[in-house]
Structure 1
Amino acid sequence: MLRFIMEKYNFWLTIATAVLPAAISAIISFLASRYKNRSDIESLEKKFNHEMTTIEKNHSNDLERLEKQYQHDFEAMEKNHFRELEKMKEAHTLELENIQKQSEAEVNNTVAQGLMTMLGSAMTPALSKYLEENDVFNQPPK
């Protein structure tokens, strides 16, 4: 019987020496894997959060830059538009002044022509009479 007990003891001893280290190794491996996975997940989460924060900051900076650029471009367009309006207003003013000067010159020219015509008409008989009496064209030079 002792032999039987020894054989059973040997059997259990063999199983214990084979299974126990394998089980302990499996448990340690499982725990290490679980810890590593948890560590990897935490690392990925930190990396993801950092990248999201960076992306949000970049997006915010891009939006601010675009808003400033839009504001600058809009102000430049307003200034250019205002300058163009001022140039057009000045050109119209100069054109009106030019038209007014031309109109005044035409009026003065017309008045002067009318006056000369009247003077010519009024003076022609007197001038003809003077020229006939004095014979200015046939006198020797003095």
Structure 2
Amino acid sequence: MNRADRAWLAVLALAWALFVAPATRLLFNPQSVQIDGEVVRVVRSFPGDALGLPRPVMSYSETVHPLTAGHNGGHFCQASSPRPVQYVSRNPVGQWSIPWARACLSDPAGFVWEARWQAYVGLLPLGPVRLSATVSREVSK
């Protein structure tokens, strides 16, 4: 393998590491989630804080899938950020409500909540990180 081939291989490896692999985790690390009714609490850290880096600019997408196939007409519920925003809160627990997902949260069997965050360096999106949780409810017969 010649020098030019090695250079291209290095460029491809770097591109994969930043834009495909979950490189966002280098700036934002969601660790766990707790869901109570319509309230979501995510324990997260910002690894760049230790280096004095500014908080990342990120976009997000949340999806709720009912566990029962026909619940909500077989549709899932989804919300996403209209544009990337910079996270500034120093609180290690992010908390928000998801009333937009009521039709999916109401499944008597439960639901699956999933979130995806993607950080940006300038206009370039980094590989996303994901977190999910399944909330099961006992269904009496």
Q: TM-score range by the shorter chain?
A: under 0.3
**Structure number having the greater helix percentage:** 1
TM-score, normalising length from structure 2? 0.19
TM-score, normalising length from structure 1? 0.19
**Structure number having the greater strand percentage:** 2
